[in-house]
Structure 1
Amino acid sequence: MNYQNLFVNIEDQILFITINREAKLNALNKSTLEEIAQVLNSNVDNKEVLGVLITGAGSKAFVAGADISEFSNYSIEEGKKLAAIGQDSVFNLIENYPKPVIAAVNGFALGGGLELAMSAHMRVASDNARLGLPEVTLGLIPGYGGTQRLPRLIGKGKAIEMIVTADMIDAKQAESLGLVNYVVAQDELINKCKEIFSKIVQRSPTAIKAAIKAVNAYSSADGFDVEIQSFGECFGTEDFKEGVDAFLNKRKPNFKGN
């Protein structure tokens, strides 16, 4: 199948998914998310695929965020639907995928990009990677699982700090916090992922599937429902309108807190 926003190939029993929107820093738009879901669903029963690697085209960005222009005029209900469909069809699909998924984080992983990486089972980052959740600068909060997965990975206090300050952290900080498994030079990024997969493909796919299911069972889904509700409500605020307008017009936002 031909994809407009992805480059897809299978090599050594690994499904490689490269988000191919380099000119847009691989920003996630609706069609890209739909294509990711299509690739994953079409290979879930493919016995020739024992693992999945997700990365971004080029050297600048894994995924630098969501395509903000697509939802700049959304209502509260549309915002809720955006988060709910995205979480169910892509991010939760990745987290619960029965085959190990590694995110090869090359460069910026911001907003939906970091949420995409966090939904993977493991993360390997290049030494130039920068990670963050800047949604509050738009009058929003993370809507694709960020408020739930980040504290599970790095702890509540640091997660809240990252979310409410919108600060980025570098690859070494991410490694020290447990947000990424390894940091390597950019030209070694894919090889490091292949090294991990070389061990995985030797193990029992049935046992691996069971292990992923068991590890994921430790957490409750209630937090995601709260996130969807809160994310949707942001679309009814003046801060959201101001943040998006400022972003699209390349000016500093003037938030009023309403």
Structure 2
Amino acid sequence: MIDLAVRQRWLPPVRDAVLAAGDAIMEIYEAGAEVRHKGDASPVTDADEAGEKILLATLTTLEPRLPIVAEEAMAAGDGPDRVGNSFWLVDPLDGTKEFIQRRGEFTVNVGLVVDRIPVMGVVFAPAKGRLFWGDAEAGAFVADVTDGELGAACAIAVRSAPEGGLLAVASKSHRTPETDDFLSRLPVADSRSAGSSLKFCLVAEGQADIYPRFGPTMEWDTAAGDAILRAAGGAVLNPDGTPFRYGKPDFRNGNFIARGDSSLDRFIR
């Protein structure tokens, strides 16, 4: 049984592995990464592969029977055939385009799914020196990382919907007309673009109110940030307002809405 006690025991080594993966990625970032393309034409770099190797080395020791769905392993055909209801989702470098274009908004992501719901997540933005983590029963936190040292943890939570209008956050690289159409129906005072899973984290720490995504993503892109947002009091929903679940046969997400304040659910139906 993967209860809170087990997850709290796993959290420190997962966090350490995410930090180590971030360090390896930054070494390649600073030296200049070689870019290749996978079969689906999406870019991949040495940093993706180096980060994933570090993460898998830790995760396989925590519970060897727990399946690990990792982006680069899946692309190489080395992922699990089936996962059941509980498994890890790993994206060693979310925001590869931001990484290649040297915009800094890329992240290392590890999420734990139990009964098809992400219950624990760790997200590290190494170029920004910020580490986020959250657990469904223990809350959500952020800490600065300076020269490899983790600073004091600060609890984070979603904010109440501002009376003066919402701040929406959307994809920097993948904004669609459907996104703009959805936002046009909300009382949005301002919007900003951000890369990678940082969008979930902005909502989780009360820096934004809603993040709609109308476009393709994979479960490893979202699980860690989703877990942190849920731990901070938010939610991720299908556009019809039903719960967003994990463990689909191809690990491909549908459209979703990540929101902070629950009062925003009236716009998601």
Establish whether TM, by shorter chain, passes 0.5.
no
Q: TM-score by structure 1 length?
A: 0.28
* Structure ranking higher in strand proportion: 2
| Higher RCO (CA < 8 A, seq sep 6+) | 1
* Structure ranking higher in helix proportion: 1
Q: TM-score by structure 2 length?
A: 0.27
